[in-house]
Amino acid sequence: MARASDDILEERQARLLALVLLFVAAYGGIIGLVNIVLFASPQLAAMDFLATAASFTVLAYYRRSGRLRAASWAAILILAGLLLTFLVLARAANAALLWVTVLPPIAFFLLGSRDGLRVTVVFSLVVLAWLVSTFRQLDPAPFSLGAVLNCAEALLAHALIFRFSERTREAAFERLREHAQVDGLTGLANREKLDLELSRALALAERSGQWVAVAMIDLDHFKAVNDSHGHLVGDQVLLALGQCLAGAVRAVDLVGRWGGEEFLLLCPSTDRAGALAVAEKLRAAVAAEPFADGVALTVSIGVGISQGRELPETVLDRADRALYAAKDAGRNCVVIEAA
């Protein structure tokens, strides 16, 4: 789970990095041409083209090495260098100062809160120092075509940065939430997801008047498998059992791992006869399945049914009692407990 969440967050950082670098590269190219054609400023254009080349270089470095942190720092340095050079060459004219405001959000997104803050403080001090030292020589003219363009572009850059960051944050959050509901070993729904879906199914059953069936499925003598074949084989068996169960039920049913060697099946719109039929089908499917290392296994299944109007724990308790009864009855069998 921790590995999965790290991967998701790293993937998001990598996408942000690629976006920033591609943005700087494309922007440098376009604005470089504009600075030559519109503003006859080869110095600014050279700086823009340099930023384009540097961005592509860092992107290629990241693709080859996979070193996200180093590439992120390089991207921030390129951007900071580009913005400061632009500010100095343009002598802060045409509202060029607005552009320095794009660095802090990008630094925070790429480097995290601590280094993002450090970069922002150092960068702001450099900009302020330059402004104070050259204050008297700066042109106070407030308005020009260049100022309008710079305002519009800086605003657009902010909108793109924040929109992208917010969209990827939402997507990462959604994926993390999905991961939080998946069992790490089997890839099936975990207890949290099963709890949620059971509450939903009971609420639906209460409205529709239909039955919901819950089946607790427990491997028989699984301890002996671990003891004689080892825990690794035990894990493979659990994985294969999960696949076997999931493959034997309908798409509307939900199979998940309740914990340890216990699985849970949730069947909406299923009455007593249906519940018995599906549980018996699962029992027979497991008994017929050859597991890893030639392990032959059976399951005991306890079924509880409900028409809603009761707590999830009550139904789970019913299925649990039925499971105990199935174990007492000699295992490899199905017992149903009436509502």
Ligand X SMILES: Nc1nc2c(ncn2[C@@H]2O[C@H](COP(=O)(O)OP(=O)(O)OP(=O)(O)O)[C@@H](O)[C@H]2O)c(=O)[nH]1
Query: Which C-beta is closer to ligand X: that of 165 or that of 236?
Result: 236
Determine which residue in the list 184, 187, 247, 260 makes contact with ligand X, applying CB under 6 A.
Answer: 260
231 belongs to the binding site for ligand X (CB under 6 A): yes
* Local structure of 286: helix, strand or coil: helix
CA dist 164 and 158 (Å) reads 10
267 token code pair? 């069947």
Q: Which of 153, 235, 271, 280 binds ligand X (CB under 6 A)?
A: 235
Residues 257 and 6: their CA atoms lie apart, in Å, by 24
Which residues, at least 6 apart from 158, have a Cβ–Cβ distance to it below 8 Å? Answer: 101, 102, 105
* Shortest distance in whole angstroms from residue 187 CB to ligand X: 13
Least distance (Å) between residue 313 CB and ligand X: 21
Which one, 260 or 290, has the nearer CB to ligand X? 260
User: Which residue stretch of 68-76, 96-104, 227-235, 268-276 sits at the interface with ligand X (rule: CB under 6 A)?
Assistant: 227-235
The distance of closest approach from Cβ of residue 195 to ligand X in the complex, given in angstroms and rounded to an integer, is 19
Candidate list 23, 62, 222, 263; residue touching ligand X; CB under 6 A: 222
Among 180, 207, 189, 205, which residue's Cα sits nearest to residue 314? 205
Nearer to ligand X, 7 or 328 (CB): 328
Q: Contact at 8 Å (CB) between 107 and 115?
A: yes
Going 64 to 70 to 73 to 74, the CA torsion angle's sign is negative
Candidates 19, 149, 327, 332; binder of ligand X (CB under 6 A) is 327
* Between 231 and 309, CB nearer to ligand X: 231
* Binding span for ligand X by CB under 6 A among 11-19, 144-152, 167-175, 233-241: 233-241
For residue 54, the minimal CB distance to ligand X (Å) is 50
Q: Cβ of residue 332: shortest distance to ligand X, in angstroms? A: 10
The nearer residue to ligand X, 76 or 241, going by C-beta atoms, is 241
- In DSSP notation, 49-111 reads HHHHHHHHHHHHHHHHH--HHHHHHHHHHHHHHHHHHHHHHTTT-TTGGGGGGGHHHHHHHHH
| Nearest-angstrom CA–CA distance, 88 and 270 | 74
CA pair distance 150, 94, nearest whole angstrom? 7
Which stretch in 7-15, 49-57, 105-113, 220-228 sits in contact with ligand X by CB under 6 A?
Answer: 220-228
Residue 223 or 250 having the CB closest to ligand X: 223
How far apart (Å, rounded) are the C-alpha atoms in residues 55 and 329?
A: 70
Using the rule CB under 6 A, is 219 a contact of ligand X?
Answer: yes
CA distance 16 to 12: 6
Residues of this chain that bind ligand X (CB under 6 A) = 185, 218-223, 226, 231, 234-235, 238, 260-261, 327, 331
